[in-house]
Structure 1
Amino acid sequence: MTTPTRYIVHGIDPASKQRVRKIIEAPTAPEAEAIAAAIGVEVIGSEIDVGPSGNAVPAPPGASSVDATAAQDEEVIWSGHSSLWSKFWWLAGAMVIVVTAFGVGILGAFAGAWLVIPIGMLFAAAIVGGSVLVCRSQRYTLSNQRLRLESGIIAKQVEELELYRVIDTAADQGVIQRLLGVGTVVVVSSDQRSPQFVMPWVHDPRALREQIRQLGEVRRRWRKVSEIDIS
């Protein structure tokens, strides 16, 4: 078995657009760069960590090629929520109310017809505000260790899925969703409480699904978890 070597992987953090360095232990430089890419780094290149003595620094005894990545402090890779496009029909209804209110207010032949306009505007504003609030009240967070859903407007509920439990992932997009750049990511896991973790109407679902798949593989290798298919 090849002894892991400590590499310095140079890259760019997509969120801050700042240059970063990751210390990763792996048998080869390409494997170290692949691990860095799995945790969200835009890899530029890598080099062996020669240490103060000028010699290559080997990994500690018993370390695996992903120990340095998986054992580091938890780091948020992605965070987002369902797109407002998921409330399209509610928003369309609000627009219909506004148009109707202005039509009745301007063309209405009864006394006080103009009052329909502000009333209609209030109803429409309530619908739009409620739609935005519902979308923002559900936030998905992907770290290098787990997938988390925080939901609720007043009372908050947190649901978490450890990435090493991920069995399969899928990204579903209809025709309209593909045009809008959104879709649904489905994560199948061995968690008995919630075997399916569904994230509807998220942006760039294929890229998100691939990130979850790669990070799940890294966590399984670090925890030495393997999938056994019993048929």
Structure 2
Amino acid sequence: MQCPKCQAECEEEAAFCHKCGANLQEDAPAQEPAAGGRPTPHESFRHQVGHTDHDEEEQEEQIWHGAYSSKAMVGQWMAAALLTVLAVVVGVMTGAVVIAVGAAVLVWAILIGWYAYRRYSVHYTLTTQRLIHESGILWRTIDRIELIDIDDVTFKQGPVERAFRVGTIIVISGDKTSPELSLPGIDDVRAVADKIDDARRKERRRRGLHMITQGA
């Protein structure tokens, strides 16, 4: 191949002239790969970039959405019912039925109010890319944790919670604002914890992050 400027002989695959430094590929026509032949390095690079762009544009989809479950307060409901019965019995025996009933109503009002606050003030959403934690009623705070930043997902249950398959999920991540996020009152807690962990692994694989622990 000759240089179009100085007419010096150059190698076929050279990009620049060794004599005058002219760009030899500037006016060269694009070469089509031979049928059945191996793609050139440039074509391979463009192919990989195309796949990367496709991955980056992947739509974020919701996997799970939840809130505080009433099952998480089964122990409190049972305790309140027992206190109500005792209050009525004591009220009948002492002649202070009105006071006993009033005390029972107050206990139930506080308990129901506390449940309503926890139920409607906290919401959790798991997508294919993030775990979103929303808290507050009048003033709402939203924390978003990238799934690739999550390091560990565990859950804990008490004796009563185990019977009703409810519990608290604990998410450990590298997020600076929420390094340890607690999700209490999650119904079917084991399945939800597995969903978070599976989504975390899939997102890390998608982004090409290999979780390899290297020795010091």
Report the TM range for the smaller structure's normalisation: 0.5 to 0.7
Q: CA shift at 1:163, angstroms?
A: 0.9
Query: 8 Å contact 1:94–1:123 — kept in the other structure?
Result: no
User: What residue is the counterpart of 1:95 in the other structure?
Assistant: 81
CA RMSD of aligned residues (A): 3.0
TM-score, normalization: structure 2? Answer: 0.63
1:178 paired with 2:162, answer: yes
Task: List gaps (5 residues or longer) in structure 2.
Answer: 1-45
CA–CA separation in structure 2 for the residues paired with 1:157 and 1:139: 11
List per-residue Cα deviations over 1:124-172 (Å, max 9, x = no partner): 3312312322330222111112111112243222222111212222233
CA distance in 1, matches of 2:151, 2:143: 18
Aligned length: 168
* Structure whose residues are more often strand by fraction: 1
Alpha-carbon spacing, 1:105–1:152, altered in 2? closer, same or farther (3 Å): same
Conserved? CA contact 1:138–1:151, under 8 Å: yes
Q: Rg larger in 1 or in 2?
A: 2
For the pair 1:125 / 2:108, whether they are aligned, the reply is: yes
Q: Does the CA-based 8 Å contact 1:78-1:142 persist in structure 2?
A: yes
Q: Secondary structure at the match of 2:177?
A: coil
The equivalent of 1:78 in structure 2 is 64
Distance 1:194 1:187 in 2: 9
Q: Which runs of 5+ in 1 are unaligned?
A: 1-59
Asked whether 1:61 is paired with 2:47, we answer: yes
Question: Using the alignment, how far apart are the partners of 2:92 and 2:158 within structure 1?
Answer: 41
1:154 aligns with one of 138, 154, 157: 138
Deviations 1:27-62 (A, max 9, x none): xxxxxxxxxxxxxxxxxxxxxxxxxxxxxxxxx933
Identity of counterpart residues, as a percentage?
30
Q: Which amino acid aligns with 2:170?
A: V
Residues 74, 160 of structure 2: 8 Å contact kept: no
1:1-231 equivalent positions in 2, closer than 5 A? 61-62=47-48, 63-64=50-51, 67=54, 71-109=57-95, 113-136=96-119, 137-227=121-211, 229=213, 231=216
Query: How far, CA to CA, are the matches of 1:208 and 1:66 in structure 2?
Result: 31
Residue aligning to 2:7: none
| TM-score where L is the length of structure 1 | 0.59
Structure 1 residue 64: Cα displacement: 4.7
1:66 and 1:142, CA in 2 relative to 1: closer, same or farther beyond 3 A? farther
